[in-house]
Structure 1
Amino acid sequence: MRALITNDDGIDSPGLATLASAALACGLEVVVAAPSTQASGTSASVAAVGDSGRVVSERRTLPGLDVEAHAVAAHPGLIALIACNGGFGGKPDVVLSGINLGANVGRAILHSGTVGAALTAHVNDVTAMAVSLDVGLDEPEPLWGTAGEVVRAVLPVLLEMPAASVLSLNVPNVDEVQGLRWAELARFGTVQSRVDEVGEGEVELVHVYAEDSLVPGTDTALLAEGFATVTALHSVGRDVSPERALPAWPA
């Protein structure tokens, strides 16, 4: 099986190399295509850097890895879209996005470029997984090796799921993970944006830790307890629950 590895932290992120190594260890053929620069918070944006209408891609070498790698002047959502339409050597069987520096939990995953790439693969009928390491604002050095071990445990499960399944995996930044748990999405993420100052023609957003209590069974609560969390996601689709009778219009 062929895996496309991408992220939103950029081609030089150690998390990207860790994810590629984990995929190789699971027997996958690996191609890396990641943003040439930081692209966090871009959700499923299909924007490219620059205005030429063409996506610029440069071949790169990743230290310690013998894989094809591309630094792409585009957001991860667009990279996933290109890959799923045959770019970077052909349509992959699975898209793996990450390993992100920081958790992607709660409904705040809407804004994540890491998750956005996975959901873009999903809507293009490709199985995908977004992987994030719970390194907070004031945390010690990222334990990429821990995240890689968890990926190697979860990836076989993903590959046995129905086609176009998508998972979000969050790993605590600890030496010994307590285990794996399916998790609900929390109402918010662990870090929220707050409007700190509002001036004439300006607003300032500050990232702060969420002050809400942790709800048992949610990704934020289980991560805090030292568990790696797995959440199955789905992308855009019709919601019939609020539908009501429509007026006869035009009369």
Structure 2
Amino acid sequence: MRALITNDDGIDSPGLAVLASAALEAGLEVVVAAPATQASGTSASVAAAGENGRVASERRSLPGLDVEAYAVAAHPGLISLIACRGGFGGKPDVVLSGVNLGANVGRAILHSGTVGAALTGHLNDVTSMAVSLDVGLDEPEPLWDKAGEVVRVVLPLLLEMPAASVLSVNVPNIADVRGLRWAELARFGTVQSRVDERDDGEVELVHVYAEESLVPGTDTALLAEGFATVTALRSVDRDVSSERALPAWPA
């Protein structure tokens, strides 16, 4: 099986190498394609740098890994799309995105480039997984190897799931993770943006911890309790529960 490894933190992120290493240990054929620069918060954007409709990529090497790797002038959503259309040497069987520096939890995953790459794989009928490490605003030392341990446990489960399944995995940044739990999405997320100042022509945003109470069973609550969380996701879908009779038009 062939795996695309991508992220939104960029080609030089240690989390990318951790994810690629776990995929290799699982026996997957690995190709790495990640943004040349930081692309956090880009959701499933298919934007690319440049104005001529062509996407630039550069061959790179990852320390300690003998894999095909590319630094791409594009957001992770577009990288995933390109891969799923055979742009990096054949359509992958699985898209693995991460390991992200910081949790991607709650409905705020809508904004995550890490999750966006996985959901783009799902939309293109490729099984996918986003993996994030809960490193908070106070920036403690990231325990990348702990995230790798969790990936090695969850990856076989992912590969046994129905085609085009997609998982979001979050790992607490602690040495003694208590275990794995399926989790609901919290209402928003752990960190939120706040408008701090607004001047003529400029708005200042700051990131703060959410002040809402943690709801038991949600990803934010379980992470706070020391569990790694697994959430199965669906991408864009029709919501029939909101549908009502439409007005007659034209009359």
TM range (shorter): over 0.9
2:77: which partner in 1?
77
Q: How does 1:155-234 map to 2 (within 5 A)?
A: 155-234=155-234
Identity %: 87
1:32: which partner in 2?
32
The answer as to 2:241 corresponding to 1:241 is yes
The answer as to 2:86 corresponding to 1:86 is yes
After superposition, what is the alpha-carbon deviation per residue over 1:160-181, rounded to whole angstroms, capped at 9, x for unaligned? 0000000000000011110000
Matched residue of 1:34: which SS?
Answer: strand
The number of residues matched between the two structures is 251
For residues 208 and 90 of structure 1, the distance between their equivalents in structure 2, rounded to whole angstroms, comes to 42
Q: Which moved more, 1:73-82 or 1:134-143?
A: 134-143
For residues 56 and 133 of structure 2, the distance between their equivalents in structure 1, rounded to whole angstroms, comes to 29
Q: How does 1:78-157 map to 2 (within 5 A)?
A: 78-157=78-157
Structure 2 stretches lacking a partner, 5+ long: none
For residues 200 and 2 of structure 1, the distance between their equivalents in structure 2, rounded to whole angstroms, comes to 51
The residue type equivalent to 1:41 in the other structure is: G
The residue type equivalent to 1:9 in the other structure is: D
1:188 shift after superposition: 1.3
Q: Which moved more, 1:45-54 or 1:156-165?
A: 45-54
The residue type equivalent to 1:48 in the other structure is: A
The residue type equivalent to 1:130 in the other structure is: A
Matched residue of 1:213: which SS?
Answer: coil
1:139 shift after superposition: 3.2
1:56: which partner in 2?
56
The residue type equivalent to 1:208 in the other structure is: V
1:37 shift after superposition: 0.4
1:203 shift after superposition: 1.1
Structure 1 stretches lacking a partner, 5+ long: none
RMSD after superposition: 0.6
1:90 shift after superposition: 0.4
1:199 shift after superposition: 1.5
TM-score (norm 2): 0.99
The residue type equivalent to 2:53 in the other structure is: G
1:44: which partner in 2?
44
Q: After TM superposition, which residue ranges in structure 1, 4 or more long, deviate above 3 angstroms? A: none
Matched residue of 1:115: which SS?
Answer: helix
For residues 213 and 239 of structure 1, the distance between their equivalents in structure 2, rounded to whole angstroms, comes to 28
Matched residue of 1:198: which SS?
Answer: strand
